[in-house]
Structures are given as C-alpha cells and as structure tokens.
Amino acid sequence: MEIGDLKNFSNFKRDALGILINHLEDFISAEITCYLYPIKQLKKQYNIVIEENPKRGVYQLDENNVIIIPKVYHNKDIIARIAFSIKKPNVSIDKKIFNVLEGAISKNLSRAYIFGFRETIQYFDDGLIEKVIANYFSKGYYNPSRIIYLLNYFHKLRTTSFEGQFFSTGMILTRAGHAFGEKHNQNRSGKAHALISQQELEGHSIERRFWFMVDGKQSYFLCNRSMTITHLFNLTAEKESEFNYINSLTLSKTLKGGDVLLRIESEKELSVITSEGIEFIYQENKWKYRNYNYIEKLIKSNISFNESSYNHLIFYILYCSKHGISSIIWIPEDLQDVNIILKTKNRLFRNDINVDNRDYSNLIIRFLSSDGATIIDSNGNICYYGCIADLSKTKIKGVQGTGENAAGALSCNGISIKISQDGTIKLYLSPSCKIII
C-alpha cells in the first residue's frame, strides 16, 4: 500500500508534510521532492522496483541525488512508504546521514499512524532533527536518550549568561577519558587536568560560573558516558605554520572514534561536532548539517588558490557564517572586466593585502562586513571592497534578495560566494548554478 492511500493520511498531509519538507531543506540545504506514491512514481521516474528489496531505505542514484524511503510499520510489518529525493552537488559524500534520516522518519511516521495521524506536528518539529543528531553519533557508543538530554542541556546553556553577558563554552563527550592523559601517549594535542570535584550533569541545575571557566576554544570539559565531567582539557597552542581552520574548528587532532564536541559560540550558537568532521549547528532557530570535508572539497574544486590561501579563505567564509556577518566574496576570472558590471568599488591604500596575512585578519573582516562585494584575485589578494553591482545590466530570473541577485550577477565572471546573516553560505558557479552549503 502507498502512504497516500492510508486512512487519515490527509491529516498528515495537511498538518505536517510541509513542516517535514521544510525541516529537511533547512537541515541538508538541498532540494527536496516528496513522493506520496513511491512504488509507482519511483518505478516510472527512476526504474526503482521497491518490491525487489522492500526493506531498503536509501538509493544513491548518483553523487548528486539520493532517495530515502521511510516506512510506516505496524506490528513489525511494512504497511506503507513515502519517499524523498534529496538533490545537491556531491550530496552523497556522507551516506550515513541518509540511513539515520530514513530510520528516524520511519519511527515517527509509525507512531503518528497509530494515532490516526492526528496531532502529527509534534513528530516532525525540531525534535525529529535532534533525534537524527542523537542517532547519528550515538550508535555503538552512547545511549541516544542521554544525547538528547545533553542537547537540551546545551540549549539551556546557549541562553545562559554570566554577570549579564552570554559566553562561549564547550565539552568533549568521550568513552575513552583515559586516552586524554599523558600516560597513554595518544597525543590528543593538549593536556587533561583532573577536577578536584567532579560534576554530574543529570539531575543537577546549571552552574554558570563552572561553565564560564572553559571557553570552548582552547579549553573544554571532558565528560564520560555516565554524564559526569571529570577533567578540564586544554589544547596546545597551534603553530602558525600549521594553520588549518577546519582542523582547528573540528578539533581533528583531538577527537577520535566516538568522541563528540558540544560547543556554545558566537553568542548563543550551539554546535555539535563528530570525530569525522561532521557538524550539526543550531543557528537562527534551526538545525543545519555541515560536512566540512564536503565544504573543503567544494571550495578547492572550484577555486584556484594555493593551499594556504584555501585555508584562509575557508576561515573567512566560515567566520562570517558563524558570526552572522552578511557578505559577498567575488573571485573574478578576468579582473580587467570587473568594471563592466560595477557601479562603485573601493580601495583604502595601494599595497595589496593577501588573505594569507593573518596580521590583517581584523581589517579583512571589516572589508567583508562592509556593504557590497569584496573582490579577491586568483593569488588571494584583496583588490577592492564595498563593490556595488549594476543590476540593470543583468537579467534576473525569479524573486530574490538584492544580495543574492548581486552574487548571481557577479558570477558571470568567475565565482561568487554569498554569506547571509542566518549563516547560510551560497556558492555561485554561474548565474544559473547555485550551491547552498
């Protein structure tokens, strides 16, 4: 039976289907298509014969298109299915997330079916995404219900202030606390200090001063799977020659196996990072999934920079995203032709500033924060800032914001990157090719 034929399914279609699709679009930053009659529709469109493998939940059509097929179970039998096509360049780079999504949606659909699909919104709000996050990194390591408890705990921390100010903080959840000690010589790029008084999280209120003591940047608490904080872990200072922003952000030298980082940063932003470099970030009241291996691959495959410039460009893109800075970065293919589409451009002094030069990082951030686009050449030099495009010289399709129109127009010559205040990153390879990160 198809899910569209189930009794009372109209309740779900009316109340919750749109919410579920919106959550998936926001979470994966992809184009979502729903199939209410997947047995017929997928066979016709993709030649997928569901009956040949009825329990299969994920089909990778190609690297840019994945189909998940959540199911409605009753008494352990499959009684119906729904399908979602998820389209995005290189979306299949992390196959695990789709299996977890399919499982979580199946479970909640089955619960909703028991109650005649009444009051279904509660099964497909943020709670569904948090279940996906918990299941993603808990399998084989932690109790998922405890992970959800931690997410709720950190949601409270996110809106907690100390002496009138919000603050950053962080904690590493690990099953191998001993591995952070010097005796085991596992080199976690830091030093662990045993706390005089261990702190139990479950059943205890938040102690603001305690959490204020670690900044979630260089210092973190270590927590075991019994939800007890046992140590403070302080990172070793990174050598400037070894700078890699993604490695620093994801603690790639520190997190191993089932280790998970929970961090509050950038004024109430909640971030959860796994040892594989996967981040789940709660920003502007919605969860987003980020695969930093994917982001790095995407940038490097479309922009011709040296390795150092890649690292610093990625730093500035993610810095703007995480700090709610609206910005447009334009890397033109032909620098001589930029005047064709620009109304105005600005330059403070004659000397070039390169994105590699960390001495000027604050100034570069000011350039990126100013109204208009910042032009960077293929060598990583910042040529102009505050550049305003003449949109009358372009053909704009659809209704978009001025910033998106400008970013799309600029990509007629090279590549442009639009960072929105809500943290969304859009890479324009051409006016008709936009990738949401």
When mean pLDDT is compared across 196-205, 410-419, 427-436, the lowest value belongs to 427-436
Residue 390 contacts residue 316 (beta carbons within 8 Å): no
State how far the Cα of 195 lies from the Cα of 217, in Å rounded to an integer.
19
pLDDT band at 107 (very low <50, low <70, confident <90, very high): very high
Q: What is the pLDDT of residue 391?
A: 82
Query: DSSP of 296-365, one letter per residue?
Result: HHHHHHH----HHHHHHHHHHHHHHHHTT--EEEEE-S-GGGGGGTEEEEE-S-SS-EETT-GGGHHHHH
CA distances from 199 to 205, 208, 231 (A): 11, 13, 9
Span 411-423, average pLDDT: 91
Alpha helices in 115-184 (DSSP H): 126-138, 144-158
User: pTM to 2 decimals?
Assistant: 0.88
Per the model's pLDDT, the better-predicted residue between 43 and 176 turns out to be: 43
Q: Which tokens is 5 given? A: 């034929």
For residue range 166-196, list pLDDT tens digits in order.
999 999 999 988 888 766 556 888 899 999 9
Tokens of 202: 């479950």
Residues 300, 199: contact at Cβ < 8 Å? no
Per-residue pLDDT at 340: 86
Phi/psi for 206 (5° steps) reads: -75, 130
Q: Residue 399: which pLDDT band, with cuts at 50, 70 and 90?
A: very low
**φ, ψ of residue 302 in degrees (nearest 5):** -120, -10
User: Average pLDDT, whole number, for the chain?
Assistant: 90
CB 391 within 8 A of CB 409: yes
Residue 243 is predicted with a pLDDT of 73
| 303-436 belongs to CATH 3.40.1700.10 | yes
- pLDDT band, residue 267 (cuts 50/70/90): low
Q: Indicate the pLDDT class of residue 86, thresholds 50, 70 and 90.
A: very high
**What per-residue string of b and e applies to 347-378 under the rule 16 or more CB within 10 Å gives b?**
eeeeeebbbbeeeeeeebbebbeeebbbbbbe
Residue 400 in this model has a pLDDT that exceeds 60: no
Beta bridge partners of 233: 192, 220
Q: Which is higher by pLDDT, 66 or 422?
A: 66
Question: What's the confidence (pLDDT) of residue 67?
Answer: 97
pLDDT in tens, 315-365: 999 999 988 899 999 999 888 888 888 899 999 988 889 999 989 999 999
Which amino acid is located at 243 in the chain?
F
Cβ atoms of 436 and 88 closer than 8 Å: yes
Give the containing element (helix H, strand E) for 16. none
> 10 Å Cβ neighbour count for 152?
11
Per-residue pLDDT at 394:
65
What the block records as the tokens of 102 is 């399919």
Between the CA of residue 286 and those of 108, 113, 239, 271, 292, what are the distances in Å? Answer: 19, 26, 35, 12, 19
Q: What is the pLDDT of residue 183?
A: 66
% the chain with pLDDT above 70 = 96
pLDDT in the model for residue 189: 86
Q: Is the pLDDT of residue 398 over 60?
A: no
Cα angle 222, 164, 209 (rounded to 5 degrees) comes to: 30
Domain boundaries, the chain: 3-124, 144-290, 303-436
- The predicted pLDDT at position 30 comes to 92
Weakest-pLDDT range from 110-124, 216-230, 357-371, 383-397: 383-397
Task: Give per-residue pLDDT as tens, 71-81.
Answer: 999 999 999 99
